[in-house]
Amino acid sequence: MTFEGRPDRDAEVVLVGRSNVGKSTLMRELTGHDFTTGKKPGVTRQPNHFDWSSEDFTFTDLPGFGFMSGVDEDRQEAIKTDVVRYVEANAPHILAGVLVVDGKSAVDIIDRHEERGNVPHDVEMFSFLREVDVPAVVAVNKMDKVDDRDERLNELCDRLGLYPPWQQWSDTIAPVTAKRGSIDPLLEALRGHFREAKRDDLLKFVS
């Protein structure tokens, strides 16, 4: 079952990522609007869109993918497939794809998958966004729980194929703490991509 009901908008920012990394909280900070989501991972199967009726723009929070406790593998795979298809189908309209990861656990999760000979979901999604020419921004969330900040961010860059130090990737790596409303690096990165797309008219939504 593929996603339905996308608003008719010419410009879009999508949020993608594993379950329980804080995408909905980040969406709330970006839009000022609360989105009710299921407490169990995998319950939300459709995107949450927040669009302004007078503006040709929408933020879209896509369902979380990857391992989910109590959700069978077929359903997990179906969710990821739907997310990929959505991004691919709408790539020409997407100004930025925000990959949300948990700053404390992302590197460890990536390493575990690679040790098993699997392509980690986060690495795969980051590469996919770039393949379909969607500017990728990694919102490294929950940074308030990370002690070795620079080391962790440099390790994440390395896993994503970006040369450290992370500070040189300000348009791609955005350390945030959505729960505390600390998302300025993400807003700055999005402003840069909006300007590159010559959509200064939409800068007010990431100010």
Percent above pLDDT 70 for the chain: 89
User: Is the CB of residue 27 less than 8 Å from the CB of residue 13?
Assistant: no
SS3 call for 17: strand
Instruction: Look up residue 85 and give its two tokens.
Output: 């298809």
The H or E element spanning position 196 is: helix 184-196
pLDDT digits (tens, 9 = 90+) for 156-196: 999 999 999 999 999 999 999 999 999 999 999 999 999 99
Residue 51 region, left (φ>0) first, then alpha (ψ -120 to 50), else beta? beta
pLDDT by 10s per residue, the chain, length 207: 467 778 888 999 999 999 889 998 999 999 988 765 555 554 556 888 888 767 899 999 999 886 655 666 777 788 889 999 999 999 999 999 999 999 999 999 999 999 999 889 999 999 999 999 999 999 999 999 999 999 999 999 999 999 999 999 999 999 999 999 999 999 999 999 999 999 999 999 999
- Give bridge partners of residue 51 from the DSSP assignment: 58
Q: Are strands 136-141 and 94-102 parallel, antiparallel or unpaired?
A: parallel
Which amino acid, one-letter code, is at 119? V
Which amino acid, one-letter code, is at 114? E
Instruction: Look up residue 155 and give its two tokens.
Output: 């390790």
pLDDT digits (tens, 9 = 90+) for 100-118: 999 999 999 999 999 999 8
- For the chain, domains (ranges, CATH) are 11-206 (3.40.50.300)
